[in-house]
Chain A
């Protein structure tokens, strides 16, 4: 019997899936457990295994096409089998109990009724085949608003997108972000850039963050001189494989500071606040297509060298688009470092459901008035903590930054950190 292959849910945040590329063509043999397709999730492109052995008799969702989670994407069976039949059987089975009374009613109706009933069944089956169904008006409104219909869930029959589905789009609810129409901008003066899964996820999650978490920001300036000197001295003595960057140092010190302030390493959960015992540190990595935050697990328990190794590994996977869901799920805090881009100071949007994010600026030679009233030049780095005020109050955030500043400015104390 033929097997219908569904669009898998490969990450918790995945709302729809896209086929990046089929590794097999229609008519080719496939083996259960062997990769047959590459699926583009909101974070990465992953190989996905065939659920059965046999022949790939039908590809329903082709390369670069998008569909809902658990929608059929292919049929695997014997070459002589009908994929349409297998799909019909699959659809009626999927409808399950709900379809049974309807089928019964159709059977009781006179013969004349059977033709439309049969037509309806085929209609339902074809609707799951990846073709986008939208009313002409919905298409026009979506085009006017610049909404990508493939990101919209249709509420009409057979999943048809109707005008209320595109009218009601507000940030973060339907995967699309409603924007004012580009009225007055001639079409020739703009280029339509289609949305990648990653772009859509960034848009959805950040709108969710700014619209639900009340942000406030605390900035502190850190004297980096002693730490940078220590790093320079140390690097000259360690093996190539043990080398660490300033960013690795930041991850190391921030995770230690968080261990001391679990109220910052937390998350708003509507009816309670979760305070995490471990620090799983998200590190924002810029990619040409967007941004991912792979997670250094148990960062507070890893040594500096281990953190450096883990960071190198994750950044490479991120740049190659090979991150697995486990690599970017479950962070408890995030660091966004634009220091290397010459940004002196900025504010970041919290990565939900975390309660805070640290925005790290570049280290700049800065004139400072010291305790004796003398002007000296110091290597200064400004960091800004964005806090979810539902979880963190100003004083708590300030306490955390005070600890963080002391760690940065007294590298010798690092010797005593586990």
Chain B
């Protein structure tokens, strides 16, 4: 098993799938000549040529709509959004067309399309370029939402996403593209909708995804020194969500903390807490706790940015609160 970066894992998945299936193509801003804004598609133009690695105009609504049309006629497009902040331009295409086409055409037009790009805050990009839309996307029936930054998971799930016949929103992270990890070579598929226990523990269930998984593991390592064993669950797929993995863990630990990036109102964390309280009411020894962004536009100032994002201090406090420590 090779140790490669997260961006290489994504590239490997796309490349393998494009080699395997000639209907798969990549389109987005600067994915070709410039090798991708974050170099995820580096070298792919050389390998597959301009018909399959397509530089698009700076118009998210336009090239996302092209993707929907291509999918309707039998192609399997991968649409790269430079970030999910820009994908907001394309929400009409994503929500009204990609997600609903199969339903509204009475099953005539499946949309086997992947829309991918970095999600959430990077570093000092201020209010318009640091936000999360995952909670909006999971609220639309007809789409799959995957959010992962672990290299092996990224490869296995990207390959499954490209082969899936539904529109898949694939949420990455700009800050994590350089992080490395062991990734299985060649054919490696992870089923959509299956979570992963990133660390076993018996005292608290900590659910986190995307780059919050790394924060969760850091907190778990630190609190293990104090004898608090945290079970870190990464759902990896947010829609559909692997609820049973969370319920099973909570039935063991009796305590739940959800760590998520983004504002805290009507979020995936809210949903997880709601489902857990409903399904595991008699198992809970403390009200579930949540850690998320403060409810303000992201400040540019670095110190304030750290304060607004979920951080170690607030996560540790939440864990201790549910432990009554």
Interface residues, chain A, with chain B CB atoms under 8 Å away? 135-140, 155-157, 162-164
Contact = CB atoms under 8 A, between A and B. Distances in A.
13 contacts: A135-B286, A136-B281, A136-B283, A136-B285, A137-B284, A137-B285, A138-B285, A139-B282, A140-B282, A156-B286, A156-B324, A162-B286, A164-B324
Main DSSP-derived SS at the B contact region: loop
Interface of B: 254, 281-286, 324
B324 A136 contact: no
A157 B323 CA distance: 11
A135 B324 CA distance: 12
A44 B109 CA distance: 81
A337 to B, nearest CB: 48
A138 B283 CA distance: 9
Main DSSP-derived SS at the A contact region: helix
A137 B324 contact: no
Contacts of B324: 155-157, 162, 164
A245 B66 CA distance: 107
Contacts of A157: 324
Contact of B282 (A136, A155, A156, A162): A136
Given A140-B283, A156-B286, 5 more contacts: A136-B282, A136-B284, A137-B254, A156-B324, A163-B254
Contacts of A135: 284-286
A164 B254 CA distance: 12
Contacts of B254: 137, 163
Closest 4 CB pairs of A and B: A137-B285, A163-B285, A135-B285, A140-B282
A157 B284 CA distance: 15
Residue among B283, B284, B324 facing the most chain A CB atoms (10 A cut-off):
B324
A140 B283 CA distance: 8
Contacts of A162: 285-286, 324
A140 B284 CA distance: 10
A211 B272 CA distance: 47
A349 B254 CA distance: 40
A112 to B, nearest CB: 10
A136 B281 CA distance: 6
Contacts of B282: 136-137, 139-140
A357 B281 CA distance: 50
Contacts of B284: 135-137
Residue among A136, A157, A164 facing the most chain B CB atoms (10 A cut-off):
A136
A139 B285 CA distance: 9
Contacts of B281: 136
Contacts of A156: 286, 324
Nearest to A161: B285
Nearest to A139: B282
Contacts of A139: 282
A46 B161 CA distance: 75
A136 B254 CA distance: 10
A257 B212 CA distance: 78
Residue among B254, B285, B324 facing the most chain A CB atoms (10 A cut-off):
B285
A283 B276 CA distance: 56
Contacts of A164: 324
Contacts of A140: 282-283
A367 B254 CA distance: 67
Contacts of A136: 281-285
Contacts of A138: 285
A139 B254 CA distance: 13
Contacts of B283: 136-137, 140
B292 to A, nearest CB: 16
